[in-house]
Structure 1
C-alpha cells in the first residue's frame, strides 16, 4: 500500500509519521484512598496523573495496591510500568462494553473512576445505574495544541486517531480532505467520526499492530 500512514494524537512516535494536535494538562489532586476497593481507568493519561499526584502526596502511593480495572493494552502497560495492580483488562475498546464486563465484579465495592474533564462515554452514569458505589475524579484535561505552520497530510493519507478528541482537534485545525481515511483504535473514537468520511475501525487497540494491519490491506 502506497498511502502514507500518519498517527494523529498527543505525542510523536519514532517509528511512524506523527501529527501532534492535542496536549494533556495534568490536574493535581489529593484523595484519601484508604477506603477505596478498586480503581477504574479508561485512559493511560489518568494513570499518569494519579502517579504524579501520588509523588507529591505520599499517602496516595497506596493506589498501587488497589485492584485496577482498565480498558486497553496501553493503559494496562502504563499501569504496570508504575507498579499498579492490574485486576482486569477489558476485551473491548468501547466504554459501554467495558461497563457490562466489570459491573458484576464491582458489586458492593467502593470504586473510584479517574477520568478526563471531557469524556466521550457515559461510563460513570452507566455504572451508577447498575448500583455501583462509584466516585469520579477529574484528573486531566485535553486541549488543542498550537500547530504552527503545519502542512495538512498528503492526499490519500490513512490517519490513525488515538482518541475522539484527536479527531476533533484535527478537524478544527485542517479542512477534511475527502481522500483521507480515518482509522480508529477503538469504538468510542470510531463513533466520533463524521458519518460522511471514509473510516475504518481497527481490529487492534495497538498502534503498531494497526499499522501492520493497514500495510497488509
Structure 2
C-alpha cells in the first residue's frame, strides 16, 4: 500500500503530520484604545496573541471568546472569559450577545479581514461596539516543488488556508481534503474529494485524516 502523508496547513504543528503553514500574521498597531469599553471580544486565538503582544492590559477586562481554542488561549494568558459559544456562526453569536450584553460596551479586537460584519449587526440591534483592527493575515508562498506528495491528505483549517494553498499549488486528483467545518467546506473547489472533521477542532481534523490511512 502506498504511504499517504498528512499535511497540516495550520500555523501549528502536530505529531504525525507534515507542517505546511499557509498563513502568516503581522501586527498593525502598537496601541489598543480601551477608553469607554467594559468588555473585550475575540473571535480567534491569534487575536488574543496579538493583543497580548501589543498591550497586556486587555486582561483587566471580562472577555467574550468565540470558540474553544480562543477561550483556551485567553485563559492560558490569564484572561477571564464570561461568555463563550462553542462555535462561530455570526448570526447566532450576535443574537446571544444582543440578549446577554445589550447594556455593555464591547471592544472587538479583530483581524484586518473578517467573514461576518459583527460590528454592523450588533449596532443595528442597539449594542454599542467599538472595533480595532490589530493584525492581518498574509499567504505564505511556496515553490511548486514543495507541493504535497501524491496521495496526500491535506487538512484545511479555515477558508484562508484554501485560498492560500491555491496561490502556490494546484490540486492533484490523488489528494484528499479534510476540512474543519461548514464555513471552510464552502470554499472547496467542485472537484476536490473531502471529508469533514467530527468537531471543529484541529485534533478532530487529524483524527479524521488518520482514519483515511
Give your verdict on TM over 0.5. Answer: yes
1:64 equivalent to 2:65? Answer: no
CA RMSD of superposed structures (Å): 2.3
Show the counterpart of 2:161. 166
Show the counterpart of 1:20. 21
SS of the counterpart of 1:200?
Answer: strand
Residue 108 of structure 1 deviates from its aligned partner by 1.8
Corresponding residue pairs, total: 211
Q: Distance in 2 between matches of 1:158 and 1:93?
A: 26
CA separation of 1:191/1:38 partners in 2, compared to 1, >3 Å: closer, same or farther?
Answer: farther
Show the counterpart of 1:43. 44
Q: Distance in 1 between matches of 2:182 and 2:82?
A: 23
1:153 equivalent to 2:151? Answer: no
* Structure 2 unaligned residues grouped into runs of 5+: none
* Structure 1 unaligned residues grouped into runs of 5+: 56-60
CA separation of 1:13/1:211 partners in 2, compared to 1, >3 Å: closer, same or farther?
Answer: closer
CA separation of 1:194/1:73 partners in 2, compared to 1, >3 Å: closer, same or farther?
Answer: same
Show the counterpart of 1:58. none
Q: Deviations over 1:17-37 (max 9, x none)?
A: 111222101222423425312
SS of the counterpart of 1:146?
Answer: coil
Q: Deviations over 1:124-168 (max 9, x none)?
A: 222223221111111111111232465211233222122221111
Matching residue within 136, 140, 148 for 1:141? 136
TM-score, normalised to structure 1, is 0.85
Which fold has the larger relative contact order, with Cα–Cα distance below 8 Å and residues 6 or more apart in sequence? 1
Matching residue within 131, 141, 147 for 2:126? 131
CA separation of 1:36/1:5 partners in 2, compared to 1, >3 Å: closer, same or farther?
Answer: same
User: After TM superposition, where is structure 1 displaced by more than 6 Å over at least 4 residues in a row?
Assistant: none
